[in-house]
Amino acid sequence: MKTTFSTKEALIFGWEKTKENIWFLVGLLLFISILSSGAKEFPGLLFLVGIFAGVSILTVLFKIYDSGEASIHDIFSKYRIVLQYLVASVLYTAMVLVGLALLIVPGVYLAVKYQFYKLFIVDKELGPIEAFRESGKITKGNMWNLIFLLSVLMGLNLFGAIIFGIGLFITIPVTLLAYIFVYKKLLAEEHHSAVAS
C-alpha cells in the first residue's frame, strides 16, 4: 500500500485544532510537567508518569480529532490500557535499539515501520503485538514520506524547545494532532484497500 498524504495539510489541521483548544491543552501539558518535576528524583516513578502522560495526551488528542474538544474526564478515561502501552513501549524501544546497533539502518526502518503502535493501542485498544502488526500494514510503501513527516515534526518541536521550552506547549499538540491526522488517513486507505481487494 502506498498513500500520498500532505504534511502541510496535516500541520494546518494540527494548528487549527490546537488553537481551538489552546487553554485546555496548555493546562494539560502544564499539569504533566508539574507531575514530571515532582517525580524527577525517582526514575521509576518518572517512567510511570511518562507512560501515564503518553496515554492521557493521546486520548485527549484523539477526542479532539473526533469531536473537536475534550474534557478532564478524557485525561483518565483509558487507564485500563496503561499496561499494554507500557509493555509495547518497552518492546518497541528494545527493538529499535537492537536495530540501531546493527548498522543503524535496520533501527531506523523498524522505528518508522512500527511507529504507530501507540496510536493503535490508544485508539483501538489493541494489544502490543497486534498494534505492531497493524502499524506495519499502514506504513508499508510510505517509508520515505513518513521519514520526511517525522523530520518536520521533530524540527518543529526542537524549535519549540529552543524558545525557552515554552514553545513546546504549542508545538507538541500541533505536531501530535498532525501525526494523528496522518495515522487516520493511512488507516482509512488501508481499510479501503482491504475492502477493494
78-137 tens-digit pLDDT: 989 999 999 999 999 999 999 888 777 888 999 999 999 999 999 999 999 999 999 999
Q: Are the beta carbons of 91 and 128 closer than 8 angstroms? A: yes
- pTM assigned to the model: 0.92
Q: Are the beta carbons of 119 and 58 closer than 8 angstroms? A: yes
CA distance 63 to 109: 30
- Please write the tens of the pLDDT for every residue from 131-166: 999 999 999 989 999 999 999 999 999 999 987 678
CA distance 196 to 178: 27
CA dihedral 98, 100, 101, 103 (to 10 degrees): 130
Q: Which residue has the cell 535499539?
A: 97
Determine the 3-state secondary structure of 52 from DSSP.
Answer: helix
Closest alpha carbon to 177 in 50, 64, 56, 40: 64
Q: Are the beta carbons of 81 and 121 closer than 8 angstroms? A: yes
- Please write the tens of the pLDDT for every residue from 6-42: 999 999 999 999 999 999 999 999 999 998 888 888 8
